């Protein structure tokens, strides 16, 4: 089965990101295809490289980055949600006159068209968070 995943919540204020990660990990282990994970609303906060949780806490952003590297996952952050929350890649940094980027490894910024495409191409679109 081909899945697309939508994550609407940030990494530490809601269980949605942890649950989405566990779902994607289990789906991949079971041999399913996860064509895209789209992060929307506060979910884009999963994609900042500036997250520094305490050593005894889980590092949710790193989990996503590691899973993406291992399985060549497409982790997409919504551009409008990123702009509202100060998350930029190199292109957005230059375009908006910022002095640094803060996107985590394995993530990319794009528009809602990526979510629409995933919903059309996948067998199931699974949503985590409100």
> Distance from CA of residue 128 to its chain's centroid?
12
Q: Tokens 């929350």 map to which residue?
A: 85
Chain centroid to Cα 10, Å, comes to 10
Residue-wise pLDDT tens digits, 15-51: 999 999 999 999 999 999 999 999 999 999 999 999 9
Question: Do residues 27 and 113 make contact, with C-beta atoms less than 8 angstroms apart?
Answer: no
Q: How far apart are CA 14 and CA 119, in angstroms?
A: 24
By the 8 A CB rule, do 35 and 3 touch?
yes
Q: Which of 16, 44, 60, 78 is catalytic?
A: 78
Looking at the DSSP bridge assignments, the partners of residue 29 are none
Rounded Cα distance, 116 and 109, in Å? 15
123 neighbors 2 (Cβ within 8 angstroms): yes
Which domains occur in the chain, in start order? 2-128 (3.40.1260.10)
Average pLDDT along the chain: 96
Q: Is the pTM of this model over 0.85?
A: yes
Question: Any idea what the Cα angle at residue 113 is, between residues 107 and 118, rounded to 5°?
Answer: 75
Q: Which residues of the chain have pLDDT under 70?
A: none
78 is an active site residue: yes
């Amino acid at each position: 089965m081909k899945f697309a995943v939508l994550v609407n919540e940030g990494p530490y204020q809601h269980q949605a990101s942890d649950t989405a990660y566990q779902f994607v990990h289990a789906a991949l282990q079971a041999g399913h295809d996860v064509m895209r994970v789209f992060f929307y609303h506060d979910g884009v906060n999963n994609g900042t490289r500036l997250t520094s949780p305490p050593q005894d806490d889980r590092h949710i952003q790193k989990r996503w980055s590691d899973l993406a590297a291992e399985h060549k996952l497409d982790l997409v952050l919504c551009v409008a949600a990123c702009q509202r929350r100060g998350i930029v890649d190199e292109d957005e940094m230059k375009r908006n006159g910022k002095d640094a980027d803060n996107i985590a490894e394995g993530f990319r910024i794009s528009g809602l068209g990526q979510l629409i495409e995933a919903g059309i191409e996948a067998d199931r679109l699974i949503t985590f968070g409100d």
